[in-house]
Chains A and B, each alone.
Chain A
Amino acid sequence: MIGGLFIYNHKGEVLISRVYRDDIGSRQAADSAVSSSSGPFPGERLGGSMRRNAVDAFRVNVIHARQQVRSPVTNIARTSFFHVKRSNIWLAAVTKQNVNAAMVFEFLYKMCDVMAAYFGKISEENIKNNFVLIYELLDEILDFGYPQNSETGALKTFITQQGIKSQTKEEQSQITSQVTGQIGWRREGIKYRRNELFLDVLESVNLLMSPQGQVLSAHVSGRVVMKSYLSGMPECKFGMNDKIVIEKQGKGTADETSKSGKQSIAIDDCTFHQCVRLSKFDSERSISFIPPDGEFELMRYRTTKDIILPFRVIPLVREVGRTKLEVKVVIKSNFKPSLLAQKIEVRIPTPLNTSGVQVICMKGKAKYKASENAIVWKIKRMAGMKESQISAEIELLPTNDKKKWARPPISMNFEVPFAPSGLKVRYLKVFEPKLNYSDHDVIKWVRYIGRSGIYETRC
């Protein structure tokens, strides 16, 4: 299991260090063992002695490594280091055993989420400001290297940084039963005057297209994010136009499908928040759950069939002699004319030896950004079934570099108010047997947002 957890700043200074297992040479242990014989940094001598200091080994071999990091898992002298980076901060988990690697990374992400939920952005300043809290969290969510309940909702009930509150016996047992219970993500006794829920269907559409307009790969990865403000312990049931469900129902009541006339979509795969009863989904394909309070991600899914590609990019690059390039890019919007796409940005890469660029575009603003080696073309809004064009002349400095320009793909960003996968929410039913509010009393909001993921056209 995880032997220790360290947090470093970008310089490699330790901000947090918590050792769970003896086999990890912590600095304290190492210092007291070799204090008489060593210099200021005993671990810097990379001879491989047993007591080699894990904290320093990671700094020297990974953070200060000359080469770009080649793997998120590093093995130094039989000690394995897992790391993730959040802005300038390195989180490293250390072990000497054959641990479950996927679990360690999932835990590190979770750790980041928990910290973010407590104090916002993960930065050196925030970590220093909250180091006592972080130690307290680490003590709670990792015991002897085994991850424990790490749901922020539950943690916030008893790790508060407010010192000890005078809790009644009932409160205490409520906390412990929530932390260990079957429904660890929700506490009892939540009350709202207005029962309300928000559903966001957030999709990111990914595309790789050849210069000739052939789709090399395309998929949508979507998330259903729910914000629930519901009283009690509500049972929810979520339905969407999943092909398998629709077809199954179609068999029973043939007229229903024809009546609704909705198109169904084929979902390649989906994963759920831990509140969803997976065995029920597996047997009946119904999504039922008791939601956490507030915001959470109900499900993630992936589709690859019948994707609506909101934009098509048509590139034309011509090399005019050795010192000039002519680029023409046309974008076409491919959705209902009544809808508006927003925040459209097209990024056209330019060679490293570009000396000057002249751009003409019909719509929006375009600029050559030398530091990013790209022409960035921004359009605020664009309706469906429209077309726009940019042309540019790129002057090049003559070089004797034999290596050809790699021609990175043209990438696009945008936001559209529909789900490119075609997913539709059919219902979200709420039942609360104990309190007297019914499904009709709950105010429900649904919103669809489609964003570009990696949306690239090769040129």
Chain B
Amino acid sequence: MTDSKYFTTTKKGEIFELKAELNSDKKEKKKEAVKKVIASMTVGKDVSALFPDVVNCMQTDNLELKKLVYLYLMNYAKSQPDMAIMAVNTFVKDCEDPNPLIRALAVRTMGCIRVDKITEYLWEPLRKCLKDEDPYVRKTAAVCVAKLHDINAQLVEDQGFLDTLKDLISDSNPMVVANAVAALSEIAESHPSSNLLDLNPQSINKLLTALNECTEWGQIFILDCLANYMPKDDREAQSICERVTPRLSHANSAVVLSAVKVLMKFMEMLSKDLDYYGTLLKKLAPPLVTLLSAEPELQYVALRNINLIVQKRPEILKHEMKVFFVKYNDPIYVKLEKLDIMIRLASQANIAQVLAELKEYATEVDVDFVRKAVRAIGRCAIKVEQSAERCVSTLLDLIQTKVNYVVQEAIVVIKDIFRKYPNKYESVIATLCENLDSLDEPEARAAMIWIVGEYAERIDNADELLESFLEGFHDESTQVQLQLLTAIVKLFLKKPTETQELVQQVLSLATQDSDNPDLRDRGYIYWRLLSTDPVAAKEVVLAEKPLISEETDLIEPTLLDELICYIGTLASVYHKPPSAFVEGGRGVVHKSLPPRTASSESAESPETAPTGAPPGEQPDVIPAQGDLLGDLLNLDLGPPVSGPPLATSSVQMGAVDLLGGGLDSLIGGTNFVAPPTAAVPANLGAPIGSGLSDLFDLTSGVGTLSGSYVAPKAVWLPAMKAKGLEISGTFTRQVGSISMDLQLTNKALQVMTDFAIQFNRNSFGLAPAAPLQVHAPLSPNQTVEISLPLSTVGSVMKMEPLNNLQVAVKNNIDVFYFSTLYPLHILFVEDGKMDRQMFLATWKDIPNENEAQFQIRDCPLNAEAASSKLQSSNIFTVAKRNVEGQDMLYQSLKLTNGIWVLAELRIQPGNPSCTDLELSLKCRAPEVSQHVYQAYETILKN
């Protein structure tokens, strides 16, 4: 039996020959011909011309031939919809066949023929098959509902198939249950607001029972569905966990990973004090390790997931470092992932072993792997302080090997080590300098130049070294040029006498001979700084740099939490939310971990502490403090300190605790002076500022609700246009969350129920974070107020105007559409305060053509009032300056999608006749400027 002959290519006229054979009387010949047709189809030839002839072969009692014809139909029906109708009769007949295999085959195939006209004929057979006596037919019909829904969702709902499908969840056959769950989950994904799956303790119990009995694939469907359930309390969570843990011993890795997902998610709800919590943690490690003995592709999926799990709960695998050691013949993708996890697990306890391994890897063949290993050594140094010395000496050993890319990579990481531990390892500079000639990659050259400039005073021939780079200045990449410019300026400030010529040379190269605007700008700035005020120049250029943080590549916590909900799926492999790679709205419902129910948690876990919440109206209330602060900030030119000294901060926290909830009323009094700030010596300058804002952060956490400016509600959807439903609303932002406050009024005569809401894609990915919940039916003339929480992780599409939002609201009567403009300031995030030097650098960095100027007329505010007003809407004043009687406020804000906007606000307080404010905005995405200006105007004028 060799079928390969069908693949042999044929000459012209093939189609005619096939046609003749298909119409032959001999059964065998017919079958041969259909096989040939399928073979041609597979290799990509267009055999659609044979459609009628192939369909003619459908009426047969030969199952093999029937299946081949069906295969052909599935491929070509869409291009020949009219002819596809010819096949319908056979399908309908087959659905009545006494043989369950044939009934199932017919219903399965019909669902795959995506022609509207055919689907019409499908309802009746499908309805019958869903209630067929044979489980094989029922399980096939369950999937068919999902197919049909994909073609025509409305029809499936109208025909009541969803209810029948729901009934199948209670079917006696586990495989029917599993397929019904899979189909419902898929349909539910495209209706995020509908409560289709309607999971409750009873249905969960049914699923858990089926879990023990169905096939490995069915177990995956059920576990993935369970993961979407939100248990009502920690006891329910625990009992589900107990019934899911046996799955960790399944041979199928996907079953294991899906079980891990359920456990990781529900664990959030368990109190850490519980014995069971510890047991569960211990149970998770062995199966995760076992996944590493699976085939390499699965190992890769497992490792990407372990990477997430290690970030979320490092305690699970902290003793399992050894299993992540790289094997010589692991595929490269497994090696690279293992390396990542090794660094994450590195700690003081195991660092010696890790380093020995990394050193071994640095001598391997694959360039990417070796580079990553070298970089990993550097990261270990930064992460585990005790090991820094050993890491540095390992890196030096590697530099001695003189392998070009190893040396370059080592130099790049040594630069970071210098930044983390200043004045500790500079003795190695001499060794680094020996390798200057071998550096040919921009990143390594730039790193080396940075080192030379930073430590110019300790390198005798720093000027010679930098001069040697200067010779080929124009051939260097921008990165290197910029670094070289800065390094030479640093050198000049440190050794002015010997290097005057050099600095002249580099400044003229940068400003006169270069086409690069960034380089020219930086050159001019240095030039002017140096020529006007060398002391200031020194303070700017040689300012102390903030320390670099330990782990730069951690996944952002909210994204991490979301990805934990997607364990095992593609999202967890890409480390991206599904919206980043899935087209359209399907399957991109934002998921989040359940909140912890145990109250003991909130106090100790850092992520629940209020971070960077905006201070409320306090500056208004205590103007004296505000003035003082402003002055102090003005005086202080030193580097900003990121946090107050520990001692003072703890005093303040204590004070706030004492004040407790009574703070609200206290703030009301005009003479309120915060005792903790008064206690801090005034000469501390900047720390007071940050201490103060810390205090405010806490107060906002304690009780005062602070938030952005809220516009009064406006009518968005008049009752005339929406069959009696009137919607008015506004947007608010409070303590980091955006919501849409809606007022629904029923002006019709009938009761309204079944409300749901959906947003179209929009510029900032706004999407409802929860379904629209109107608890009771809305009777005539009744009004309800609803606050709908919004998230910004929906799909993104640029709208015109930018802040346009198209909304669809559904109720039992109809679906209504309206669009509204949201004020941009609801998107200003709480951590929008840029540090001062960043601000300066960014302001310079953004090209001038991105600057936009606006006037805000008739706004008689002084700088403090403006600043505090703006701050409550998350526009932060970075610095204040007084120039010739004008107050200049330098402000920053950040949008939810990470776009920074820098602003300069000019106020003339001394001049009552001139109440106009001037606003300049700089942003890398200039199209937002107009809307930011509008936000400024609304905030300041209200």
The residues of A that contact B364 with a CB separation of less than 8 Å are: 406
A109 sits at the interface (CB 8 A): yes
Whether B62 pairs with A163 at a CB distance below 8 angstroms is yes
Q: Does B147 contact A (CB under 8 A)?
A: yes
* B173, CB-defined interface residue at 8 Å: yes
Interface string of B560-598 (1 = CB under 8 A from A): 000000101111111000100111001110000000000
B295-344 interface (Cβ within 8 A of A) = 295-298, 300-302, 322-323, 325, 327-329, 332-333
Q: Which residues between 332 and 389 of chain B lie within 8 Å of chain A, taking CB atoms?
A: 332-333, 353, 357, 360, 363-365
| A217 contacts B7, C-beta separation under 8 Å | no
CB distance from A201 to the nearest CB of B (A): 16
Given contacts A103-B217, A458-B360, whether A176 and B134 have CB atoms under 8 Å apart is yes
**Is A139 in contact with chain B by the CB < 8 A criterion?**
yes
Q: Could you tell me if A281 and B573 are in contact, using CB atoms closer than 8 angstroms?
A: no
Taking the complex as formed, is A238 at the interface, i.e. its CB lies under 8 A from any CB of chain B?
Answer: no
The minimal Cβ–Cβ distance linking A204 to chain B, given in whole angstroms, is 9
**A172 x B290 contact (CB < 8 A):** no
Of B2, B182, B402, B570, most buried by chain A (CB within 10 Å of CB) is: B570
In the complex formed, the residue of B with least CB distance to A16 is B42
Q: What's the tally of chain A residues with a CB closer than 8 Å to chain B?
A: 110
The B392-431 residues at the A interface (CB cut-off 8 A) are 401-404
Within 8 A of B (CB), among A240-297: 268-274, 277-279, 281-282, 297
The interface bits of chain A over 317-356 (1 if a CB of B lies within 8 angstroms of the residue's CB, else 0) are 0000000000000000000000000000000000000000
Residue from A14, A26, A130, A176 in contact with B100 in the complex, judged by beta carbons closer than 8 Å: A176
- Interface pair B44/A31, CB less than 8 Å apart: yes
Q: Which B-chain residue is minimally distant from A119 (CB atoms)?
A: B1
**What is the CA–CA distance of A320 and B873 in the complex, to the nearest angstrom?**
74
Which of A19, A21, A73, A78 neighbours the largest number of chain B CB atoms within 10 Å of its CB?
A73
- B361–chain A nearest beta-carbon distance, Å: 10
Closest CB in chain B relative to A54 CB, distance in Å: 12
Q: Quick check: A106 and B252 within 8 Å, CB to CB?
A: yes
**Cβ of A48 under 8 Å from chain B:** no
A342 to chain B, nearest CB (A): 23
Residue B101 at the chain A interface, CB threshold 8 Å: yes
- Select the residue from A1, A102, A150, A277 with max chain B CB neighbours within 10 A: A102
Q: B581 near A102 (CB under 8 angstroms)?
A: no
Is A191 part of the contact surface with B, judged by Cβ < 8 Å? Answer: no
The binding surface of chain A is classed by DSSP as: mixed
Specify the chain B residue showing the minimal Cβ separation from A208: B325
Residue interface mask A379-410, B partner, CB < 8 A = 1:
00000000000000000000000111011110
Interface centre among A107, A132, A149 (most CB of B within 10 A): A132
Interface of B is mostly: helix
- Flag A17-37 by CB within 8 Å of B: 1 or 0 each: 101111100111101100100
Cα A21 to Cα B146 with chains together (Å)? 11
Contact status B1-A73, CB under 8 Å: no
Write the nearest CB–CB distance from B66 to chain A, whole angstroms: 9
Q: Which residue of A lies closest to B133 (CB)?
A: A173
Which residues does chain A contribute within 8 Å of B353, judged by CB atoms?
Answer: 216
B419 vs chain A, min Cβ distance (A)? 30
Chain A residues positioned under 8 Å from B217 (CB to CB): 103, 107, 146-150
Interface centre among B217, B257, B363 (most CB of A within 10 A): B217
Does A100 contact B289, Cβ atoms closer than 8 Å? no
Give which listed residue, B62, B150, B300, contacts A73 with CB less than 8 A.
Answer: B300
Indicate whether A358 reaches chain B with its CB closer than 8 angstroms: no
Task: Flag whether B114 is at the interface (Cβ < 8 A).
Answer: yes
Whether the pair B75, A26 counts as a contact (CB closer than 8 A) is: yes
Stretch at the interface among A179-187, A364-372, A413-421, A443-451: A179-187
With an 8 A cutoff between CB atoms, is A84 at the interface?
yes
Write the chain B residue with the least CB distance to A183.
B213
Residues of chain B within 8 A (CB-CB) of A136 are: 64, 67
Q: Which of B213, B295, B570 contacts A101 (CB 8 A)?
A: B570
Q: How far is the CB of A68 from chain B (nearest CB, A)?
A: 7
Instruction: List residues of chain B with CB within 8 A of the CB of A132.
Output: 3, 35, 38, 64, 68
A13 at the interface (CB under 8 A from B): yes
Residues on A with beta carbons closer than 8 Å to the beta carbon of B173:
180-181
Q: From residue A394, how far is it (CB to closest CB) to chain B in Å?
A: 19
- Interfacial residues of chain B within 233-274, with CB under 8 A of chain A in the complex: 243, 245-247, 249-254, 256-258
A106 to B219, CA, bound (A): 13
Residues facing A in B1-36 (CB within 8 A) are 1-4, 6-7, 35
Asked if B221 CB lies within 8 Å of chain A CBs, one says yes
Contact A208/B570 with A106-B254, A278-B246 known, Cβ cut-off 8 Å: no
Known contacts A28-B75, A163-B62; A278 and B249 CB within 8 A of each other: yes
Contacts of B290 in A (CB 8 A): 268-271, 300, 302
Q: Within the complex, what minimum Cβ distance (angstroms) separates A224 from chain B?
A: 12
Q: A32-B48, A180-B139 are in contact. Are A100 and B573 (CB under 8 A)?
A: no
Q: Decide: A179 near B136, CB < 8 A? Known: A103-B568, A158-B101, A279-B246.
A: yes
Instruction: List 28 A-B residue pairs with CB atoms under 8 Å apart, sorted by A's residue number.
Output: A16-B42, A21-B150, A28-B75, A71-B333, A75-B574, A97-B586, A100-B257, A100-B568, A102-B254, A102-B258, A102-B298, A103-B254, A106-B253, A128-B7, A144-B146, A146-B143, A146-B179, A146-B217, A151-B215, A172-B101, A176-B100, A176-B135, A179-B175, A184-B215, A221-B293, A271-B256, A274-B251, A281-B249
Given contacts A17-B42, A131-B39, A456-B328, 5 further A-B contacts (CB under 8 A): A21-B150, A100-B258, A106-B253, A131-B7, A403-B401
The 3 closest A-B pairs by CB, nearest first: A269-B286, A176-B136, A128-B4
